[in-house]
Structure 1
Amino acid sequence: MSDATQSQSNITVGLGLMERMMPFTLTTVPCCIFLFINVIMLFTLRSKPVFCETSRYILLYNLLFADTVQMAMSQLLYILSVCRIILTYPVCGLLVMFANLTNEISPLTLVVMSVERYVAVCYPLRHAAIITVRNTGGAITVVWTFCSLNILTRVVLLLDFPFPESLQMKDLCNTLVMFLGKRSADYDKAYTCFLFVSVGVAIISSYIGVMIAARSASTDKASVRKARNTLLLHLVQLGLCLSSTVHNSIIFLLSKLFTGVVFGSLTIVLYVCVFLLPRCLSALIYGLRDQTIRPILVSHLCCRRKLYEMQVQVVGWAQ
């Protein structure tokens, strides 16, 4: 995620106040809109008992929570980069580690959601016994624990590096700056490859299992079709998460093809599309696809309509 700050920081070097305000505005406004949608979606998933007692909605809440925090952390690091604010190693490390933690929660949560859909289609009679609220909470706990252990491993690798006497950083805060030793960088590459390969295999296996179940005459075809589309959506989400890992490579390629304002504009568009927009797609797609969530979400998003109805009621009472 925060790799974006390194490439963005190179663009802001030597720019005046107005030039710095442009990327700040063009990224902050979409981020605020996306955060608003995600927060409304999170509020919606806690507004009815059915959402708190159904496993797939609990998993969706966990996914959206991680995406929302990740989006906020990404924008915070971007703003620090644009404003040329130099942090200390402990503060930067805390921000980067927390951003990495929430970034890794999303793909693992997609695995659990895919398994839930697989069980719902392939073992419909046992679904209620297997996918319980308690088991779902246990799976979420395992996901957060696994990701936390990975962060702890990164911290241990950092302790082997001889820090300078001054903890003040010389560069802007980003993930690459915190890779102080070769082992840290190698571990990050190996873990990222392992994570996305494992998640991809798990989701594809669930998809294959659902497709095999679709051949059974006793299987609900509508349920299979819906589960298949959901698993394909999970694969798209995984691809969007993976795209952030090649962000720097794309920036490097663009720097060879474009310069000046064009290059700066392209990096801003890429940042919004790769880091911000994917974190909001889950709320929009799931919110609009699910017939239980849709009316409540639309009602919460249409705040003006509610205010208008309240004003009409007040006027009616006054008359």
Structure 2
Amino acid sequence: MAANITTEYKMNDKIMLIQIFVVLFLCINLLLITTFFTKEFFYTTMRYVLFAVTLMSDCLFLFMSDILLILNSRYTIQMWLCLIIYLVTSMYFFVTPVTLTAMTLERYVAICLPLRHGELCSPRNALHGILIIHSLSSLPCIVFLSIFFASATYGSYTQGRICSVEIFILHTWQGHLRSAISQFYFLIMCITIVFSYVKIMRAAKAASGEDKKSTWRGLRTVGLHAFQLLLCLIQLWCPFIEAALLQINLMLYINVRFFNYITFILAPRCLSPLIYGLRDEMFFHALKRFALCGLRKKH
């Protein structure tokens, strides 16, 4: 009994700490999203449009996953509600890495194919890109849930359960299929980023003067995208590790799951504001101007 109370207190402490991180992250992202809409140049330029997509995607994903974390710590919920939450979180889990890949390709076009950049990265193509990103991101979830709908009984939708992806896996092969689809997506994204990195590196070595400086900056941006993608990829393996630890020790499982949430869910989504919000000179000046104006109005 005492051990259960201690475990509950520790879980509550961890959940409260996560709330601080999530609220801080959401506040920073909302500030950046507001800044994005202050200048017409940002929402008519593809790389800033894609940056805004990652910010909005990250906000929605973290908000929904945080609600799920709070609900799972205290309550069971009916499966139909869990389905809706899973649909949103699963899709937006993929939106961020797919958008990062699109941003990498945009940098590749800007540096390696500068004469075609205006044509390929027009505002119209940016909107088409957003539709393609969301279509590709929703595909794994649609496939997985279609198999679940075909296998589940009608009564199971009203059952109260702890909401997690495992409750939709009715057969072992479903879990293997989900893992295979996710890893296939990330393999394609990794190949795309490595290809872009190599091409930009060659362009950086061949460039001179101001072009060289701009190209190396683009190379660093692609490198940071690759690091983000690596963290997202590791997240795919976390459920397997957590499931094994749950069989060994409950507190170890709780501690590792907390570490995984901070490192592989929060951290990759905190890098987007740093890469474009602070490293990008034009966006940083707009952000600074917007923040300072807000402070002056308060005084």
Q: TM-score, normalised by structure 2?
A: 0.88
> What is residue 44 of structure 1 aligned with on the other side?
35
1:136 to partner: Cα distance: 1.5
1:253 to partner: Cα distance: 6.7
> What is residue 240 of structure 1 aligned with on the other side?
231
Cα distance, 1:24–1:214 mapped onto 2, change above 3 Å = closer
> What is residue 165 of structure 2 aligned with on the other side?
175
Query: Structure 2 matches for 1:22-101, cutoff 5 A?
Result: 22-83=13-74, 85-101=75-91
Cα distance, 1:34–1:52 mapped onto 2, change above 3 Å = same
CA distance in 2, matches of 1:188, 1:168: 24
Query: Structure 2 matches for 1:238-317, cutoff 5 A?
Result: 238-251=229-242, 260=251, 264-300=254-290, 306-307=294-295, 309-310=296-297
Cα distance, 1:97–1:208 mapped onto 2, change above 3 Å = same
Cα distance, 1:159–1:270 mapped onto 2, change above 3 Å = closer
- Please give the per-residue CA displacement for 1:40-90, whole angstroms capped at 9, x wherever unaligned: 11111111111111111001111111111111111111111112x111121
Q: TM-score, normalised by structure 1?
A: 0.83
CA distance in 2, matches of 1:17, 1:257: 18
Cα distance, 1:255–1:91 mapped onto 2, change above 3 Å = closer
Cα distance, 1:264–1:103 mapped onto 2, change above 3 Å = closer
Structure 2, unaligned runs of 5 or more: none
Cα distance, 1:58–1:168 mapped onto 2, change above 3 Å = same
AA in 2 matched with 1:69:
L
Correspondence for 1:156 among 146, 149, 169 = 146
CA distance in 1, matches of 2:285, 2:151: 53
- Please give the per-residue CA displacement for 1:182-211, whole angstroms capped at 9, x wherever unaligned: 343232111111100000000100111112
Cα RMSD between the aligned structures? Answer: 2.7
Correspondence for 2:134 among 136, 144, 149 = 144
Correspondence for 1:184 among 150, 163, 174 = 174
- Please give the per-residue CA displacement for 1:79-118, whole angstroms capped at 9, x wherever unaligned: 11112x1111211111111101001111111121111111
1:250 to partner: Cα distance: 4.1
Cα distance, 1:306–1:218 mapped onto 2, change above 3 Å = closer
Structure 1, unaligned runs of 5 or more: 1-11, 313-319
1:298 to partner: Cα distance: 3.6
Cα distance, 1:35–1:161 mapped onto 2, change above 3 Å = same
CA distance in 2, matches of 1:13, 1:181: 32
Determine if contact 1:200/1:238 at 8 Å carries over to the other structure. Answer: yes
Determine if contact 1:86/1:169 at 8 Å carries over to the other structure. Answer: no
Determine if contact 1:37/1:280 at 8 Å carries over to the other structure. Answer: no
Cα distance, 1:154–1:267 mapped onto 2, change above 3 Å = closer
Determine if contact 1:55/1:133 at 8 Å carries over to the other structure. Answer: yes
Q: What is the number of residues matched between the two proteins?
A: 296
> What is residue 111 of structure 2 aligned with on the other side?
121
- Please give the per-residue CA displacement for 1:223-278, whole angstroms capped at 9, x wherever unaligned: 21011111101101101111211223444576689764x76445423322222232
1:30 to partner: Cα distance: 1.0
1:19 to partner: Cα distance: 4.6
CA distance in 2, matches of 1:154, 1:203: 26
1:222 to partner: Cα distance: 1.3
CA distance in 1, matches of 2:199, 2:247: 44
CA distance in 1, matches of 2:233, 2:272: 15
> What is residue 200 of structure 1 aligned with on the other side?
190
Cα distance, 1:79–1:258 mapped onto 2, change above 3 Å = same
CA distance in 1, matches of 2:224, 2:237: 21
Larger helix fraction of residues: 2
> What is residue 8 of structure 1 aligned with on the other side?
none
